[in-house]
Amino acid sequence: MLESFQIIISLLDSTIRIATPLIFCAMAGIFSERSGIIDIGLEGKMLLSAFVAATATFLTGSPIFGLFAAILMSCSASLIHGFACITNKGDQVISGLAINILASGLTITLGIALFSRGGQTPPLASEQRFMPIDFPFLDQLSFVPVFGELFVEVISGHNILVYLSVLAVFFTYYVIFKTRFGLRLRAVGEKPEAVDTAGISVIKMRYQSILIAGMLCGLAGAYLSIAHGAGFGREMSAGKGYIALAAMIFGKWNPIPTLFACLLFGFLEALGVRLEGVELIWIGEVPVQVMQALPYVLTVVLLAGFIGKARAPGAIGVPYSKEG
């Protein structure tokens, strides 16, 4: 009994660690896609900013500096995306894919050129990373049964970016549903003509949205390389950007359900790691690939029937042009 409780606690703990970059990315996706811009480049932006975060932190010794460099990098990638598909009305999927391919190649090439470590950046010392924060009164709380342990092991003891990701969810919710900016952002993704004829610039709204998406994506990248990890490794985003996209669709472009989708996918991955090589009753040993594929399979299955129709923003993927 006690042992299985321990297992659950540690599963939940790693769920949160795994879900953090998903949450940042999914919120970024919500900002972008709610304004009508498909953001398949989440993956690439995250990878680029992870690399830049690690490099900048290694060079300056300051993770804060690395964080800002990551955000800057991610926003620049967003601007490239915007220039291609807002200003020049290009295809948003193609542009996003281009960013992903660029990120994959560029980070490795630059990594080898700068550090000659096969694409990796040098490992960072712990003072160069965002380290776990312990909450006060831990000792007193740890005596409280169940809840105390949950608090000490699961809620407390993460780095600052983990807590920031939860804030990001509420930030996203508040901005999108409670502010004037959010009303216009949603309108621009549903029916840009309505926004244009109301005297608001569609182009400006969309650029603002993808810049916010860029910032959130930068946080995800920084989390990977200078908070959760201690340096950049090649392809370290490992498809998380796509999972985040799936979570966003799963959550129907709404921040709160999307948060839970991210946690669910995080949990599945944690479970997958945990079950690696473990014999299950009736089933036997489950190949690790099956567990890795689960989030995608789950998305397809659930979207196909169980959660009802996921309705994308009305004007998503369609470049806006006035005259015809």
Q: Which residues bind another protein (CB under 8 A)?
A: 177-184, 186-187, 190-191, 193-201, 314, 322-323
Least distance CB 182 / another protein (angstroms):
8
The DSSP code for 236 is T
Q: How many residues make up the chain in this entry?
A: 324
Bridge partner list, 158:
133
Residues 6 or more apart whose Cβ sits within 8 Å of residue 77: 41, 44, 45, 48, 49, 99, 103, 214, 217
Least distance CB 183 / another protein (angstroms):
6
The phi and psi torsions of 282 (rounded to 5 degrees) equal: 75, -40
Identify which of residues 169 and 188 has a Cβ nearer to another protein in the complex.
188
Amino acid sitting at position 106: L
Identify which of residues 88 and 179 has a Cβ nearer to another protein in the complex.
179
Identify which of residues 83 and 177 has a Cβ nearer to another protein in the complex.
177
Give the pair of three-digit tokens for residue 95.
């542009």
- Calculated CA dihedral for residues 33, 35, 37, 41, nearest 10 degrees: -50
Least distance CB 34 / another protein (angstroms):
11
Measured CA to CA in angstroms, residue 201 lies from 15, 136, 193, 286 at distances of: 41, 48, 10, 53
Identify which of residues 1 and 180 has a Cβ nearer to another protein in the complex.
180
Identify which of residues 167 and 322 has a Cβ nearer to another protein in the complex.
322
Identify which of residues 60 and 179 has a Cβ nearer to another protein in the complex.
179
Handedness of CA 20, 21, 26, 28 (dihedral sign): positive
Give the pair of three-digit tokens for residue 146.
């169940």
Least distance CB 170 / another protein (angstroms):
15
Least distance CB 212 / another protein (angstroms):
16
Least distance CB 184 / another protein (angstroms):
7
Least distance CB 185 / another protein (angstroms):
11
Q: At what angle do helices 240-250 and 255-274 cross, to 10 degrees?
A: 130
Identify which of residues 45 and 184 has a Cβ nearer to another protein in the complex.
184
Residues 6 or more apart whose Cβ sits within 8 Å of residue 183: none
